DNA sequence: GTTAGCACTCAGGATCATAGAGTGCCAGCG
DNA sequence: CGCTGGCACTCTATGATCCTGAGTGCTAAC
């Protein structure tokens, strides 16, 4: 039994040497953009083994779907499976911090112009630093401390709802409150909600906002209820606010010389929903998540990798990168970690 | 004397027939994307004249810089000067309204979610409808009626300034107010400014906000002053808010198959300043302005044309299009006019 | 002033040959 | 039995060559 389990495992697992070859092929391909042949791998990375040996291993690795060939007589190219091994190996070992990093961090830390413009700037910085597209999202605003809520009459049933959150983050939308209320009533409503909510995240006070705080407003009980419901639905949705920047840089890369590839990505970026979903689906509670090529369910992203990392505002501000599968993961991951950390510092002051 | 003046004028002005040729070349090039030869022009647009005649005229038009050749034996291509004639001739004649227009308009008119998201949607619609990049800008907020001003304490000298303008347009930034004021003082300050400003554009009340309205606050006179100054500088700047959408569609056009061209445009769009400047510089008080290729001073835009038209919010919301020089001006201009009009309606309710 | 005719130019596509990178497989070696 | 050198084979990329067709400029005749 044990033996059979072992043998079965051997079929799927790669040997030490095979791993070495896979990593070398990925590394070489990321560096040069050209398929790597057995000769190259032998010469540059594995002097101990002849090209013929490498070739034999490569044939096996192709069968196991770690590598593939563009055509019969071309070198080997890595599949997502190979990239996965490569990224996992990077994540495990210690990475060096690029020298320019200090300058970037400085730029961020000395920002005072508000969360929105800071996030925009960070995405642009990320893009420039990595030749990828910088992304930022504010997720789960219900977990962020509320400072104040206010309503403003727009006419008819329409009311402008403004929620000011921790650190001066402003969220506003037009909502519908039945009954054409006067500004005075709206102010009173806002005052009461603010009193209870201020200093707490919405998720905490949501239940507290029951009937008793609206004492004396029984006449408009329905309005109070739908006001609370509206705030709820506003803060509840995931990744309400999205920021994208530095997209220009990706166009310098050879991988995106084909306009169609970029168009596919752009079509995702220009709609809110798919991007928000992706950020939500692939980000993890802590640390950098890397999703590679067809691991992303969106067809349009099949030529891209997505890196995400939760950052400031109690991990509710998520920072990310979208770049070619053949990106410099080492640098990208390090940069993302650094800037996410810097952003956290900047928020928490 | 008169005769010499006449002759000189003849050198610069084009004859009726020459104009006809220029317009035909532009039209043909916009339609097909290929240089137009004398034979084509003669056959399709000017049966009355032989190719040889057209050729002679073309040689003259080349000397006058209306046309040029890619190489000796290619057909003629229009220069900006030729496009200028073409666009001017379009602007003068009546244009037909595309059938799909009704659907677009409907989509806009039934929008309730606030000015920002409306503008974003309109830019995307514009982009899709014309295969150009849709652009929108809010200019001169000081001319827009104010609803309310409020300040919110962020800690230290930093204060969040929120100005709510006509129609629920929210403008906010972090500003610096000296002296770490309490929220109560800030509220009082906001209340006083709001009382005076509400219902008027800032440009109107700016002078009224002299010392007397801050009676009883002499102790913090400097704060009052810098608060007013901050609001002033916020609302004063041109094209504070920019919206870009539908950029993906431009990549379907043959003109933008070359990634570098798109990259140039994108580098402009990703910074606020240059785009804001362009909108400010090239928009006119009323109606559509068309700026073609190298008429735009930004080098990055040399392969593009820029269409702009003031729209709702008392002409302060400017709508625009960025597309290839070889765009369907007739359709683009009509679309822009339509959507700008529709947006105006939507705002003024 | 207009036009037909003609020689000339040039880009773009098709065809072909060649070089070079890389593979798979076999036979021999330790 | 695993590793390696050798060899025949495959396939792409590159460059040279040729050819066609579109289009021009010029000249001479109407």
Which residue on chain A is closest to B117 by alpha carbon? A173
Count CB-CB contacts under 10 A for residue B308. 26
The shortest C-alpha distance from A344 to chain B (Å) reads 17
| Cβ–Cβ below 8 Å for B248 and A256 | no
Q: What is the CA radius of gyration of chain B?
A: 26
Are B270 and A150 in contact (CB < 8 Å)? no
Q: What's the CA B76/C1' D22 distance, rounded, in angstroms?
A: 12
**How far B112 CA lies from chain A's nearest CA (Å)?**
7
Q: What is the pLDDT of residue A5?
A: 37
Q: What is the pLDDT of residue B6?
A: 39
The number of domains in chain B is 3
- The residues, ordered by sequence, that sit 6+ positions from B168 with a Cβ below 8 Å of its Cβ are A152, A154, A158, A160, A174, B114, B115, B147
Answer whether B259 sits within 8 Å of A260, measured CB to CB. no
**Do A282 and A160 sit in the same domain of this protein?**
no
Domain co-membership, B265 together with B344? yes
Distance A83 CA to D5 C1' (A): 32
Q: Could you tell me if A191 lies within 8 Å of chain B, comparing CB atoms?
A: no
Same domain, A130 and A259: yes
| Domain shared by B213 and B257, yes or no | no
Q: Which of B324, B333, B321, B319 is nearest to B251 (CA)?
A: B324
Is the Cβ pair B262, A263 closer than 8 Å? no
Q: Alpha-carbon distance A123 to B231, whole Å?
A: 28
Mean pLDDT by 10 residues, chain A (349 residues): 38 83 97 94 92 95 95 93 96 83 80 84 94 94 92 88 92 88 88 90 84 67 85 85 96 93 96 94 95 96 97 87 97 94 80
pLDDT tens, residue by residue, B190-229 = 998 998 899 999 999 888 876 666 677 667 778 888 888 8
More confident residue, B9 or A246: A246
Lowest mean pLDDT among A213-217, B241-245, B248-252: A213-217
Å: B58 CA to C7 C1': 20
List the structure tokens of B191: 């209340």
Assign B11 a pLDDT band (cuts: 50, 70, 90).
Answer: very low
Put simply, whether A259 touches B (Cβ < 8 Å) is yes
In chain A, where does DSSP find H-type helix?
2-12, 16-32, 38-44, 51-63, 80-92, 101-109, 115-130, 183-197, 202-205, 221-236, 259-269, 272-282, 312-315, 329-348
Tracing tokens 């302005």 back to the chain, one arrives at B289
From the centroid of its chain, how far is CA B56? 39
Q: Does A122 share its domain with A271?
A: yes
B37 touches strand D (CB under 7 A): yes
Query: In the numeric block, which tokens belong to residue B341?
Result: 């009009």
* Chains A–B, number of C-beta pairs less than 8 Å apart: 89
Residues 6+ apart with CB under 8 A from A340: A309, A310, A311, A312, A319
Q: How far apart are CA A276 and CA B284, in angstroms?
A: 38
From B218, B236, B254, the end of a domain falls on B236
Sign of CA dihedral A293, A296, A298, A299: positive
Over residues B300-323, the pLDDT tens digits come to: 999 999 999 999 877 889 999 999
What pLDDT is attached to residue B346?
80
Give the nearest nucleotide to B67, CA to C1'.
D24
Closest residue to B124, CB basis, from A162, A245, A270: A270
| Strand C footprint nucleotides (protein C-beta < 7 Å) | 2-5, 8-11, 20-26
C-alpha to C-alpha distance for B308 and B291, rounded to whole angstroms: 9
- Which of B216, B236, B256 terminates a domain? The answer is B236
CATH code where residue B70 lies = 1.10.10.10
Same domain, A107 and A7: no
Q: Are residues B204 and B296 in the same domain?
A: no
From B236, B264, B285, the end of a domain falls on B236
The per-residue pLDDT for A213 is 66
Domain check: are B342 and B249 in the same one? yes
Residue A229: domain span: 142-236
Let me know whether A204 and A273 are in one domain: no
* Interchain CB distance below 8 Å, B113 and A173: yes
Cβ–Cβ gap B154/A164 under 8 Å: no
Q: State residue A12's pLDDT score.
A: 59
Task: Please tell me whether residue B346 adopts helix, strand or coil conformation.
Answer: helix
Please state whether strand D lies within 7 Å of residue B52 at its CB atom. Answer: yes
Does A204 lie in the same domain as A84?
Answer: no
Q: Which nucleotide is nearest, taking the CA of residue B52 and each C1'?
A: C3
* Mean pLDDT, residues B5-22: 71
Residue nearest to nucleotide C23 (CA to C1'): A73
More confident residue, B88 or A212: B88
> Residues B54, B60, B65, B67: what is their CA dihedral angle, to the nearest 10 degrees?
20
Residue B7 has a pLDDT of 40
The predicted-structure confidence for B159-174, as pLDDT tens digits, reads as follows 999 999 988 899 999 9
Chosen from A133, A172, A240, A252 to mutate, greatest number of chain B CBs within 10 A:
A172
State which nucleotides on strand D lie below 7 Å from a protein beta carbon: 3-6, 9-12, 21-27
Distance B52 CA to C6 C1' (A): 13
Separation in Å: D5 C1' and A36 CA: 21
Structural contact between residues A198 and A147, judged by C-beta atoms closer than 8 angstroms: yes
Mean pLDDT across B55-60 = 96
DSSP state of B285: S
Check whether residue B18 and residue B32 sit in a common domain: yes
User: Measured CA to C1', what is the nucleotide nearest A76?
Assistant: C22
B225 and B164 both lie in a single domain: yes
Is strand D in 7 Å reach of the CB of B4? no
Query: Can you give the pLDDT at residue A103?
Result: 82
CATH for B320? 3.30.450.40
Q: What is the percentage of chain B residues whose pLDDT exceeds 90?
A: 64
Amino acid B40 CA to nucleotide C10 C1' distance, rounded Å: 19
Average pLDDT over residues B264-291: 95
Minimal Cα–Cα distance from B62 to chain A, Å?
Answer: 34
Measured CA to CA, the distance from residue A24 to residue A20 in angstroms comes to: 6
Nucleotide nearest to A67 (CA to C1'): C23
* Cα atoms in the Cβ-side hemisphere of radius 13 Å centred on A132: 29
């Amino acid at each position: 039994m044990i033996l059979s389990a072992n043998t079965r495992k051997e079929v799927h697992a790669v040997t030490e040497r095979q791993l070495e070859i896979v990593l070398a092929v990925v590394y070489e391909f990321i560096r040069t953009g050209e398929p790597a042949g057995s000769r190259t791998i032998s010469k540059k990375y594995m002097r101990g083994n002849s090209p013929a040996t490498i070739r034999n291993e490569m044939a096996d690795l192709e069968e196991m779907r770690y590598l593939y060939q563009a055509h019969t007589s071309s070198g080997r190219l890595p599949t997502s499976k190979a990239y996965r091994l490569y990224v996992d190996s990077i994540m495990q070992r210690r990475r060096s911090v690029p020298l320019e990093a200090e300058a970037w961090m400085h730029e961020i830390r000395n920002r005072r112009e508000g969360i929105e413009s800071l996030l925009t700037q960070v995405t642009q910085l990320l893009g420039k630093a990595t030749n990828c597209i910088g992304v930022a999202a504010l997720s789960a605003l219900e977990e962020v401390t509320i400072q104040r809520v206010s309503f403003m009459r727009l006419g008819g049933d329409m009311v402008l709802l403004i929620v000011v959150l921790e650190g001066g983050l402003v969220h506003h939308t037009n909502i519908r409150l039945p009954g054409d209320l006067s500004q005075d009533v709206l102010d009173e409503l806002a005052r009461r909600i603010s009193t209870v909510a201020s200093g707490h995240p919405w998720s905490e006070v949501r239940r507290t906002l029951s009937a008793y705080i609206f004492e004396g407003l029984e006449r408009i009980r329905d309005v109070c209820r739908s006001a609370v419901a509206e705030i709820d639905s506003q803060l509840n949705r995931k990744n309400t606010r999205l920021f994208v920047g530095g997209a220009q840089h990706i166009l310098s890369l050879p991988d995106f010389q084909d306009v169609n590839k970029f168009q596919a990505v752009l079509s995702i970026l220009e709609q809110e929903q798919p991007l928000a979903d992706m950020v939500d689906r692939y980000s993890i509670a802590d640390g950098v998540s890397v999703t590679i090529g067809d691991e992303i369910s969106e067809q349009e992203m099949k030529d891209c990798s997505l890196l995400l990392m939760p950052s400031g505002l109690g991990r509710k501000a998520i920072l990310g990168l979208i770049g070619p599968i053949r990106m410099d993961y080492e640098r990208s991951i390090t940069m993302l970690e650094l800037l996410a950390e810097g952003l956290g510092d900047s928020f928490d002051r």
